[in-house]
């Protein structure tokens, strides 16, 4: 991995390994991402206890389908991580405001959450703290972390499309149907519907984020001769930043701290990614730091939600151990990914 593509665009060589691989070798990572996204986003987080694992039937189509669509669109258009994460932000707004409407519906929040009342913007009908948390949280943990891990696990097709046209079409249908099932289920239970201005405003924000995703990084920036930091340092910084984001205050300091952390990490990672040697190991380290935050945060949320019974604590422990094992397996694949010849190089 060299520093020749600081804008995160792929360096395409004469061969594309993804084209030589059979369908099972490409479908396997797609299925893995489909399942891993909701497992990290909701179960490892502790927002949904492991005793409700049956909820995967509803959550996977929306979470996993959304992650797959974002990943496939990004790779098919030759874009990189800035595009992927901005599309993740668009997904976060879409889910929280138009699908489950958690951003607007106070009944969807657990009783211990005081962020909504503490940072409520009455004119808009939502909490600034929740808006920052939902948007960034989905972009990082629902989309970015699972994609980084699964792509590292399959170095021969890590940056090439996994789905054909039919597969992508089916995924889109599954995502829409899963989202409708969740929307209707919540509406039938609560009877809540966001106001037309709220829905229109949210749709506009989603559209702007999608446009921004394909505008950012259009012009490559020159690489620097400085060496990239060691992956362990990148992972440590990622863990500290993500942990600070996770435990940010629930008053108005919360969204302020969250935005500062996002801005600071954007600047730091952008500069680091332009350095010589930046590659797969560094991206995986960032994902690992964020994964570790949910590993301890899940137990905290179980306690806050009042669902920390024996079954759920055992289930959470199994999830954490499984996440750590998965990360270690991905880490072992990094040298092979870096040494491959003829692969796409995406920052």
* Per-residue pLDDT tens over the stretch 326-336: 999 999 998 65
Mean pLDDT on 291-309: 94
Mean pLDDT on 128-153: 96
pLDDT at 110: 58
Mean pLDDT on 162-184: 95
Mean pLDDT on 221-228: 79
pLDDT at 156: 84
Of the pLDDT bands very low, low, confident and very high (cuts 50, 70, 90), residue 39 is very high
pLDDT digits (tens, 9 = 90+) for 102-118: 999 877 665 556 667 78
**pLDDT at residue 342 is higher than 70:** no
Say what percent of the chain tops pLDDT 70.
Answer: 86
pLDDT digits (tens, 9 = 90+) for 52-77: 999 999 999 999 999 999 999 999 99
**pLDDT at residue 11 is higher than 60:** no
pLDDT at 239: 97
Of the pLDDT bands very low, low, confident and very high (cuts 50, 70, 90), residue 325 is very high
pLDDT at 118: 85
pLDDT at 17: 39
pLDDT digits (tens, 9 = 90+) for 237-285: 999 999 999 999 989 999 999 999 999 999 999 999 999 999 999 999 9
**pLDDT at residue 338 is higher than 80:** no
**Cβ–Cβ < 8 Å for 159, 343:** yes
pLDDT at 71: 97
**pLDDT at residue 12 is higher than 50:** no
pLDDT at 82: 94
pLDDT at 109: 64
**pLDDT at residue 291 is higher than 50:** yes
**pLDDT at residue 96 is higher than 60:** yes
Give the residue, 21 or 28, on which the prediction is more confident. Answer: 28
**pLDDT at residue 78 is higher than 80:** yes
Whole-model pTM above 0.95? no
Give the residue, 291 or 110, on which the prediction is more confident. Answer: 291
In angstroms, the CA 232 to CA 238 distance is: 10
**pLDDT at residue 341 is higher than 60:** no
pLDDT digits (tens, 9 = 90+) for 186-223: 989 888 999 999 999 999 999 999 999 999 866 666 67
pLDDT at 225: 79
Task: Write down the mean pLDDT value for the chain.
Answer: 88
Q: Under 8 Å CB-to-CB from 144, ≥6 apart: which residues? A: 81, 84, 85, 88, 287, 290
**Cβ–Cβ < 8 Å for 325, 153:** no
């Amino acid at each position: 991995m060299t520093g020749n593509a600081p804008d995160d665009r792929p360096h395409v060589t004469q061969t594309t390994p993804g084209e030589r691989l059979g369908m099972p070798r490409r479908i396997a990572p797609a299925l893995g991402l489909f399942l891993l996204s909701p497992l990290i986003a909701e179960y490892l987080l502790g927002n949904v206890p492991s005793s409700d694992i049956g909820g995967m039937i509803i959550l996977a189509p929306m979470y996993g389908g959304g992650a797959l669509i974002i990943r496939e669109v990004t790779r098919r258009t030759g874009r990189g991580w800035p595009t992927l994460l901005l599309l993740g932000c668009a997904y976060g707004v879409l889910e929280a405001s138009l699908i489950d409407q958690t951003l607007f519906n106070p009944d969807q929040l657990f009783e211990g959450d005081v962020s909504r009342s503490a940072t409520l913007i009455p004119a808009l009908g939502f909490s600034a703290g929740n808006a920052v948390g939902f948007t960034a949280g989905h972009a990082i943990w629902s989309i970015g972390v699972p994609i980084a891990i699964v792509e590292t696990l399959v170095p021969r097709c890590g940056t090439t499309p996994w789905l054909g046209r039919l597969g992508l079409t089916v995924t889109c249908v599954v995502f829409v149907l899963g989202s409708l099932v969740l929307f209707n289920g919540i509406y039938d239970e609560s009877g809540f519907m966001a106001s037309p201005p709220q829905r229109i405003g949210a749709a506009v924000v989603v559209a702007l984020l999608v446009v921004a995703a394909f505008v950012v990084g259009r012009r490559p920036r020159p690489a620097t001769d400085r060496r990239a930091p060691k992956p362990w340092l990148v992972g440590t910084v990622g863990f500290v930043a993500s942990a600070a984001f996770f435990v940010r205050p629930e008053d108005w300091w919360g969204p302020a701290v969250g935005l500062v952390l996002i801005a600071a990490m954007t600047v730091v990672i952008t500069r680091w990614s332009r350095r010589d040697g930046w590659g797969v190991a560094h991206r995986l380290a960032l994902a690992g730091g964020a994964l570790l935050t949910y590993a301890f945060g899940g137990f905290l949320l179980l306690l806050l939600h009042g669902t920390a019974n024996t079954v759920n604590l055992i289930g959470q422990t199994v999830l954490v151990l499984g996440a750590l094992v998965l990360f270690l397996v991905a880490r072992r694949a990094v040298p092979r990914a870096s040494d491959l010849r003829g692969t796409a190089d995406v920052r």
